[in-house]
Amino acid sequence: MDLSKRDRKEVTTMTKNGIIALLVAFGLILVAFAGGVKLGRTQGADEIMSHVYPRCGVVCEVNRADDVVTVVDGVGMEWQFTECEDWQEGDWVAMIMDDNGTPDSIYDDIIMDAVYGGTSEG
C-alpha cells in the first residue's frame, strides 16, 4: 500500500500526538505518586495508623438482593458492608476500621476492609 505524502504526514502527526499523550499521562502518574509519598512523609505513618483499629463480629444477615452483609460485634453494635460474595450467616468477620478522626465516638466509624475469619457453625 502506497501512502501519499499527505497521508504519511497525518500518520506521523497522529503518532507524535499519541506519544505526547502517553508522556503527559505518565508524568501525571509520577506527580500523583510523588504527592502521595510526600503526604505520607508529612503526616507520618503513626498519625495515619492512629485512626485505624481492628474489630471482629459475626454475620447475622446476608441480603443478596441489596448486596449487604450485616455484622454484629461483641458489644452488640451492628455494622454493614457490601459485596456479599460467599458470606453466610454465622461467619466470623475480622474488620479493619477507621475512626474517621473521632476517637471518642464509634457511630461515625467506617469499615475499611472485612475478611473471613471462620465460621461459628459446626
Number of continuous H segments (helices) and E segments (strands) in the chain: 2, 5
The pLDDT of residue 47 is 65
Per-residue pLDDT for 14 more than 70? no
Q: Domain 51-119: give its CATH code.
A: 2.40.50
pLDDT band at 122 (very low <50, low <70, confident <90, very high): low
CA dist 118 and 92 (Å) reads: 5
Residue pair 90/121 in contact (Cβ under 8 Å)? The answer is yes
pLDDT band at 91 (very low <50, low <70, confident <90, very high): very high
Residue 61 region, left (φ>0) first, then alpha (ψ -120 to 50), else beta?
Answer: beta
Model confidence pLDDT, tens digit, residues 26-72: 555 655 555 555 555 555 656 666 788 999 999 999 999 999 999 99
| CA-based radius of gyration for the chain | 25
Q: What grid cell was written down for 30?
A: 509520577
The pLDDT of residue 119 is 82
Beta bridge pairs of residue 120: none
Residue pair 53/87 in contact (Cβ under 8 Å)? The answer is no
